[in-house]
């Protein structure tokens, strides 16, 4: 996706889809930032992500922008294993998480 208007509308839809009304509170994205941002839309059956384990790294000029900045932590909890009915192996393998 390279059309700037389409990219901007897609970014707004993403942000407001997660946090309704948030887009209007953010500093407007610059043309340089928009140009440096790549958007890709693909159907996912599975996904993985690299995530940061520290806080945000705002640019110095953004520190005075009157909007919340921070991290919203996500947690993954392992549930009880469910063996497939056609699985030959019946014993659940051990995990390092408990």
Does any domain span residue 34?
yes
Is 55 inside a domain boundary? Answer: no
| 56 in a structural domain | no
> Model confidence over 57-80: pLDDT tens digits?
788 888 888 888 887 777 878 788
pLDDT given at position 13: 93
pTM of the predicted model as reported, rounded to 2 decimal places = 0.54
Tell me, yes or no, whether 77 lies in a domain: no
Is residue 7 one of the residues assigned to a domain?
A: yes
Strand, helix or coil for residue 35: helix
The phi-psi region of residue 21 (left if phi > 0; otherwise alpha if psi is between -120 and 50; otherwise beta) is left
Query: pLDDT tens-digit profile of 2-43?
Result: 789 999 999 999 888 888 888 988 889 999 999 999 888 888
**What domain range includes position 20?**
1-44
pLDDT given for residue 73 in this prediction = 79
Integer Cα distance of 21 and 15 in angstroms? 8
Query: CA distances (Å), 4 to each of 21, 24, 86, in order?
Result: 21, 18, 50
Question: Would you say 22 and 16 are in contact if contact means Cβ atoms under 8 Å apart?
Answer: yes
- Is there a domain that residue 76 lies in? no
Give the number of domains in the chain.
1
Handedness of CA 47, 53, 55, 57 (dihedral sign): negative
Average pLDDT over residues 41-66: 80
Residue 32: inside a domain? yes
Distance between CA atoms of residues 61 and 17, nearest Å: 27
Is 87 or 53 the better-scoring residue by pLDDT?
87
Residue 18 lies in a domain: yes
């Amino acid at each position: 996706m390279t059309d700037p208007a389409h990219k901007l509308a897609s970014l707004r839809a993403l942000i407001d889809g997660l946090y309704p009304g948030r887009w209007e509170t953010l500093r407007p994205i610059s043309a340089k930032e928009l140009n440096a941002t790549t958007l890709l839309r693909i159907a996912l059956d599975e996904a993985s992500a690299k995530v940061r384990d520290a806080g945000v790294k705002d640019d110095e000029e953004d520190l005075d922008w009157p909007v919340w900045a921070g991290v919203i932590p996500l947690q993954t909890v392992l549930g009880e294993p469910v063996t497939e009915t056609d699985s030959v192996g019946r014993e659940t393998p051990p995990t390092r998480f408990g």
